[in-house]
Chains A and B, each alone.
Chain A
């Protein structure tokens, strides 16, 4: 990891609500400057609209604050995920409250939405949310299915075009060797999730960049409550450098491209994280801090004063 010292990273897909402060600390130490947390499911289906509301509110509230305490700028995308779109009664209620959140400051897109089982209800709410995104002028972050992936990916893009979205406003996530060519050929952004066992490994990612170049390609961790790695982006950058990919190219796929894609929301100001304010972990959010019972804030290593 020494080779990436001093480099900066942007992880455009990571579910920090499922992670610990140790993860935030390690990410900050590895050079992660900013992240995007897409709204998704919580590992089991919610049974009421109130838990959706509280979750969305936490993404723009407590989690954003928690992240700031480690010097990481936190953005999010808001949407009704594909798995839970299969509960029609609940989905109708969620669609009603979505506009209250997607127009909030720091919301850089509608996501993650798309297909899981590829059912009729998933299709219905995917289309409805594409319209919301189009009206709001926001990018869309598409989750492509684990199962029947190739067809699901093609179908997601077909529908986005049919609904009148510009492919340049659409980030197609969780690509692999079988999907990448079509996604790039059709003008969409192609995101790759480095996630052990079920998605991409980072050696395969190196080969993809060698074959397809860097245009409209980005890497993320999608770290969540599963066995995943919040350092996937910096680790992949290190591996790319080791295997002969130029530093400029590594920066594109682990930093700049994601910013370019999601900055189309008008909600990303790179000055916010390229020259961040000092971190003060004793700050509070609604009276709460990330410090607990007698815990001391991490000392500011930039300071020459030792107390």
Chain B
């Protein structure tokens, strides 16, 4: 089956962005790489260009024009550096007629990857062919302790929500909380909320309180739809917290719940309930408050 989306069009969009924003010398280097790859077709040629890109293209951030951003959706190249954008495009030049050879070639890049290469590779997951082949690799990436690698998987990356099994998905979300990543930027966060994740996060909130450490307010977003007698007391602790963002998060969680005590609790703070109704209090405003924006 190869690609599960219209890859040639995406490849052309990426090529355009690169061509418009790199130096003449960089353009020449890319042309030479492409020529060598098309004439020789050896993996060595492919690997050299992938690895050497920052030496010839630099690591300046590229700005993605609005039309290109629109065309790439649900994928995103926002904030990519020149070498990273090239690497994603370059991966799209790999033939997809032989699945085993394709997967092996990319797995080799992962196995030999340094930090920036890994960031590019994990961010490229939604661009790759044979999407079913990368589930274990994605779970492996979530085990990483390197911040930029984790963000490449977690932030604005549509692959995990679409392909990960529930345990691996829950692990990703939990790790995002654990490593202070911007959880609200995880693609598919609400769609993939589930009772087991709510249970894990409730336990996490108890552990943090026992250690006298702060509880991330965004956690209640994923507990809210599953409020019940097992976690309502935990939510009440957020509701009565000294931290404003926690109280707001508790209110939003109540709003997303069908559990009658939660609705009743929310009614007791009419002001907050009204702000939610008017769209003045949302998970986005809580995220902005938490991140000090």
Contacts and interface: CB of A to CB of B under 8 A. Distances in A.
Interface in A175-192: 176-178
Contact of B145 (A43, A86, A201): A43
Nearest to A118: B167
A45 B143 contact: yes
A168 interface: no
B207 A149 contact: yes
A166 B140 CA distance: 33
15 contacts: A43-B145, A47-B111, A86-B136, A86-B139, A117-B139, A146-B178, A147-B178, A148-B174, A148-B204, A150-B203, A151-B200, A176-B207, A177-B211, A178-B210, A204-B212
Interface string A181-215: 00000000000000000001100100000000000
A173 to B, nearest CB: 16
Nearest to B175: A147
A201 to B, nearest CB: 8
A178 B203 contact: yes
Contacts of B146: 44
Interface in A106-159: 116-119, 146-151
In the A-B complex, the 9 residue pairs with the smallest Cβ-Cβ separation, listed nearest first, are A177-B210, A147-B174, A148-B200, A47-B111, A117-B171, A150-B203, A178-B207, A83-B143, A178-B210
Contacts of B289: none
Interface in B117-144: 136, 139-140, 142-144
Interface string B169-203: 00100110010000000000000000000001001
B203 A117 contact: no
B206 A178 contact: yes
Interface of B: 111, 136, 139-140, 142-146, 167-168, 171, 174-175, 178, 200, 203-204, 206-207, 210-212
A149 B167 CA distance: 15
A117 B210 contact: no
Contacts of A86: 136, 139-140, 143
A116 B200 CA distance: 14
B172 to A, nearest CB: 10
B171 A176 contact: no
Contacts of A45: 140, 143
**What interface size band does chain A fall in?**
20 to 34
Contacts of A148: 174, 200, 203-204
Contacts of A177: 207, 210-211
Nearest to B197: A148
A204 B211 contact: yes
Given A47-B111, A147-B200, A117 B143 contact: yes
A172 to B, nearest CB: 16
Contact of B144 (A44, A47, A87, A146): A44
Contacts of A117: 139, 142-143, 167-168, 171
A87 B145 CA distance: 17
Nearest to B200: A148
Contacts of B140: 45, 86-87
B179 to A, nearest CB: 10
Contacts of A116: 143
Nearest to B174: A147
A201 B208 CA distance: 12
A146 B178 CA distance: 8
Pick from A86, A148, A176, A201 the residue with the most CB of B within 10 Å: A148
A175 B146 CA distance: 25
Given A47-B111, A119-B167, A150 B139 contact: no
A45 B204 CA distance: 26
A113 to B, nearest CB: 16
Contact of B211 (A118, A146, A147, A176): A176
Contacts of B175: 147
Contacts of A201: 211
Contact of B207 (A47, A118, A119, A150): A150
A178 B212 CA distance: 12
A154 B167 CA distance: 18
A78 B143 CA distance: 21
A147 B167 contact: no
Given A149-B203, A151-B203, 14 more contacts: A45-B143, A83-B143, A86-B143, A117-B142, A117-B143, A118-B167, A119-B139, A119-B167, A147-B175, A147-B200, A147-B204, A148-B174, A150-B203, A226-B145
